[in-house]
A and B are shown apart, each in its own frame.
Chain A
Amino acid sequence: MYNQTDIIKDTTDLGPDGELVVNMGPQHPATHGVLHLVVTLNGETIKKIEPHLGYIHRSIEKMCESLTYRQFIYVTSRMDYLSSHINNTACALLVEKGMQIEVPERAKVVRTILNELTRIASHELWIGAMAMDLGAFTPFFYAFREREMITDIMEDTCGARLTMNYIVPGGLMYDIHPEFQTKVKAFIKQFKEKVTEYEDLVTGNIIFQSRTKGVGVLTAADAISYGCSGPVARASGVSCDIRKIAPYDAYDRVEFDEVIETAGDSFARYIVRVKEMNQSIRIIEQLIDNIPEGEFVGKTKNVLKLNKGEFYQRVETARGELGVYIVSEGGTTPHRIKFRSPGFSNLSVLDHIAKNSKIGDLMATMGTLDLVIPDIDR
């Protein structure tokens, strides 16, 4: 471990073997947030990477312990802000499991559609930011054009663009917007037309390919032993989609493929995310015309009290497996709450896969891990 004075000393002095310590972040533009990486270099070769966390710690777990089961859901939007809807769903599912609340079919289907829209929006942003890390500025605007349609849909229905807080225990906060279905259909149409532009701009681009192919290779065994999940693990050939393993909401009645690549390099992680967006579109297409009529929220008591015991719920966010664990003493607030965030495990693999590569490749490796710092550092 370094303390602050050691870091300053190390950057000015070369180590005994000619090693140089470079502090990347906490405000480096390519770290997408306040991640601090202490990179030990020998020439241009990376010897060691130490992630330093704590710059955006808000003690969300402790905060949740003082909030009631209705209130604590909004805090989870601030963890992984790009898949805030999915975080909210995880908490609502857990409370429903603990209290045996019956969720109406309409709420289940709408939640599934919104979750998949959130996943597409998250991957869109990732593609834009990732390409920008590697020097391509244009794809960012193309990706945001489609993402803007999703945020408009969210704005219409949930009233917010990023931190929705639309899911409540028992269903939804209010009914969907009357124009929800037409807008989603318009989005699907545009997405299918325009997704080929990414192929032209990014996927086929020789610079992008040579910077990502064979860079940051993660084997399947390492992915399992480091606890990776989501697109990072699936690009290494590990089947880990929670939507398939333990279906929740309406995922048990839709057909979709779990996208698995075997190369395990940065390019495979990119391909998994692009293909996953197409699978999300497939899920939405199956559900958008079949939203059942009826209530949008189930019957719940005024004051929610979880039964005494321990409860666990896991969902698939855009980054991987999110687990929520609650110990309840039977009161109105959780006794202890713990989030298993996908980003933390995915970050821990960075030192392993970036070791002995060049520092220029670190951008590609780190970018494809899709790190969202508030999710890692709650």
Chain B
Amino acid sequence: MFLKDYIVDVYNGVASLLKGMRKTGYYFTHSKEIITEQYPDNRATLKLADRFKGEVVMPHDENNEHTCTGCTACELACPNGTIKIITKFDITPEGKKKKAIDAFIYRLEMCTLCNLCVAACPSDAIIMAPNFEHSVFDRSKLTKILNKPGSKIKEGIE
């Protein structure tokens, strides 16, 4: 009786192992069902989701104009102190003083990509861009000034 149980156990055990091995063998012969992506060789065809939160950028149009008013809503919304806005006063053609941004300092190394700044922005001046290859040799390169040199605010944005 003991011997019979033992043989049945061995038989069932080997059968269960072969069942699993069959699955492995199936994928070994059906290489088209393998879904591994060959990064970085597939860089040219790699497409990320359009909402992917990679870093904060400030879009500029063809006249080098952005829509940031320097209201510091993003600076207040940021939980880590990633954003620092330095403002200046421009003189308009009418001779009035107008507040504008001098530098939009963004520290990528402190950013947790929580999207709260983008959600807080009233004029949609900053967006999340799907860039993810951020490694650099020097940490100071991660501190970025988002407004391009010589850029100014778009007409009609208050």
Chain A residues with a Cβ under 8 A of chain B: 67, 70-72, 74-75, 138, 145, 148, 152, 155-160, 163, 165, 168, 173-174, 177, 197, 200-202, 204-207
Which residues of chain A have C-beta atoms less than 8 A from B49's C-beta? 152, 155-156, 159
- Among B51, B52, B77, point to the contact of A71 (Cβ < 8 A): B77
In the complex, are the beta carbons of A159 and B35 less than 8 A apart? no
A72-B79, A155-B51, A159-B115 known; 7 new pairs, CB 8 Å cut-off, are A70-B77, A70-B116, A71-B116, A157-B51, A160-B113, A197-B23, A200-B23
Residue numbers in A under 8 Å from B115 (CB-CB): 159, 165, 173
B17/A173 in contact, CB under 8 A:
no
**In contact, A201 and B52 (Cβ under 8 angstroms):** no
The distance from the CB of A144 to the nearest CB of chain B, in whole angstroms, is: 10
B24 within 8 A of A: yes
Residues of B within 8 A of A207 (CB): 17
Cβ-based interface call for B86 (8 A):
no
Asked if residues B52 and A155 are in contact (CB atoms below 8 Å), the reply is yes
A206 engages B13 (CB within 8 Å): yes
Q: Are B16 and A177 interface neighbours, CB within 8 A?
A: no
CA distance A202 to B115 in the complex (A): 40
Q: Which of A74, A148, A201, A206 contacts B79 (CB 8 A)?
A: A74
Q: Bound state CA distance, A173 and B120, in angstroms?
A: 11
Please, how many angstroms separate the alpha-carbon atoms of A155 and B50 in the complex?
Answer: 9
Number of A-B contacts (CB under 8 A): 64
Return the chain A residue nearest B119 by Cβ. A173
A157 to B20 CA separation, bound complex (whole angstroms): 35
Are B35 and A67 within 8 A (Cβ)?
no
* 11 contacts across the A-B interface (CB closer than 8 A): A70-B116, A74-B112, A138-B24, A155-B48, A159-B49, A159-B51, A159-B52, A160-B53, A163-B113, A200-B19, A200-B22
Contact B79 A71, beta carbon cutoff 8 Å: yes
Chain B: CB-nearest residue to A158: B51
Output the least CB separation between B33 and chain A (Å): 9
Q: How far is the CA of A145 from the CA of B51 in the complex (A)?
A: 22
Q: A71-B79, A159-B49 are in contact. Are A206 and B17 (CB under 8 A)?
A: yes
A165 touches B114 (CB 8 A): yes
Residue B128 contacts which of A148, A159, A201 (CB distance < 8 angstroms)?
Answer: A159
Asked if B151 is an interface residue, CB under 8 A from chain A, the answer is no
How many whole Å from B145's CB to the nearest CB in chain A?
A: 24
- What chain B residues lie within 8 Å of A75 (beta carbons)? 79
Inter-chain contacts of A174 with B (CB < 8 A): 51, 119
Interface string of B112-138 (1 = CB under 8 A from A): 111110010000000010000000000
Contact of B35 among A70, A72, A145, A158 (CB under 8 A): A145
Is B143's CB within 8 Å of the partner chain A? no
Within 8 A of A (CB), among B7-43: 12-13, 16-17, 19-20, 22-24, 35
Cα A187 to Cα B153 in complex, Å, equals: 45
- Give every chain B residue within 8 A of A138 (Cβ-Cβ): 20, 24
**What 7 A-B pairs come out closest when comparing CB atoms?**
A206-B13, A71-B79, A74-B114, A159-B51, A159-B53, A155-B49, A165-B114
* Complex: chain B residue closest to A145, CB-CB: B35
Q: How far is the CA of A145 from the CA of B33 in the complex (A)?
A: 11
A155 to B23, CA, bound (A): 30
CB distance from A145 to the nearest CB of B (A): 6
Whether A204 and B113, one on each chain, are in contact in the complex, defined by CB atoms closer than 8 angstroms, is no
Return B36 CB to nearest CB of chain A, in Å.
Answer: 9
Given A70-B116, A159-B115, A160-B113, does the pair A200, B51 have CB atoms closer than 8 Å? Answer: no
Interface core residue of B13, B20, B53, B128 (most chain A CB under 10 Å): B20
In the assembled complex, which residues on chain B have CB atoms less than 8 Å from the CB atom of A163? 112-113
> Which residues of chain B are near A200, meaning CB under 8 Å?
19-20, 22-23
A24 to chain B: closest CB distance in Å? 29
CB neighbours of B112 from chain A (8 A): 74, 163
Q: Which residues of B contact A168 (CB under 8 A)?
A: 119
Residues in B with CB closer than 8 Å to A205 are: 16-17, 20
Q: How far is the CB of B69 from chain A (nearest CB, A)?
A: 17
